[in-house]
Amino acid sequence: MSKTEVILTSNIVGLGAESDQVKVAAGYARNYLFPQGMAIPLTHANKRRIEVLRQRRAEREAHEFNTMAELAKGVAKLICVVTVKTGEDGKMFGAVTSGMVADQLKHQFDISLDKKKINLEHPIRVLGEHEVELRLHQEVKATLKVRVETSTPAPAPIAAAPAEARREEGRFERRDRRGEGEKSAEKTEGAARKPHAAKSEKGARPERPPRAEKTPRTEKLAKSEKAPKAERAPKPEKAE
């Protein structure tokens, strides 16, 4: 395969940046790089443009550095939530990848980030919070908090309902026992009080009969008039 040397006019990941002189396949250069304006053939006339391309590259890199530095400060305060499906035992179906994190950053915070800049050494397979490194720039790195949550609804507590019912029954039984204990205690206290009450009744003084009402004075006078006293008989004279 024949190759040709070109001067890049754009930043191409994995190949180079502006003003770089690289060798590529002739068909790749002819069919893709030249039509897209991403490279120019290496000629004496085009070498004069290298200095202009270097200046453009420096401006682009400075702008990218400032942009990514600001993004790193903002990302450090965010929590990216990724929802996954899990089984009854809480285990995830599949794993969380860098592409899923990039999609959620775009959906939740409107942050467009290449998934290649999300450094996941291993896909996330456990629920909870995880710290993910972001390689935003050659000189800028950030840490993003990713919270993996389940979208599977929790199973209904089938065994919990009977347990609660048993607890409630136990509470009512304890209450009934307490009530019965209090009633028996009241009965014993009442039985203990009755002999004292009987003694007090025996030792108590009998109630006095109510006094007869005094007859009015007029009635007494009337009785004396109706029944005059009998005259006393004269005493017998003594013999001389």
Cα–Cα distance for residue pair 40/48, rounded to 1 Å: 12
**What is the pLDDT at residue 46?**
87
Q: What is the pLDDT of residue 201?
A: 47
Name the pTM for this structure. 0.53
Q: Over its length of 240 residues, how does the chain's per-residue pLDDT go in tens digits? A: 688 999 999 999 889 999 999 999 999 999 999 999 999 998 888 888 899 999 999 999 999 999 999 999 999 999 999 999 888 887 888 899 999 999 999 999 999 999 999 998 888 999 999 999 999 988 899 999 999 998 877 665 555 455 665 666 666 666 666 666 666 666 665 555 555 444 444 444 555 655 655 545 555 544 555 545 545 555 555 543
CATH number of 3-48: 3.40.5.10
- Which residue is associated with the tokens 């389940």? 150
Q: What are 104-156's pLDDT values in tens digits?
A: 999 999 999 999 999 988 889 999 999 999 999 888 999 999 999 988 776 65
Give the H or E element holding residue 171: helix 160-203
Residue 130 buriedness (CB in 10 A; 0-12 / 13-18 / 19+) = middle
Q: What is the pLDDT of residue 207?
A: 58
pLDDT of residue 184: 62
The CATH homologous superfamily to which domain 73-150 belongs is Ribosomal protein L9, C-terminal domain (3.10.430.100)
Amino acid at 45: A
> What pLDDT sits at residue 91?
86
Edge-to-edge, what's the strand order for the sheet holding 21-25? Answer: 21-25, 3-8, 39-41
Cα distance between residue 29 and residue 2, in whole Å: 11
Domain ranges of the chain: 3-48, 73-150
What pLDDT was estimated at residue 98? Answer: 93
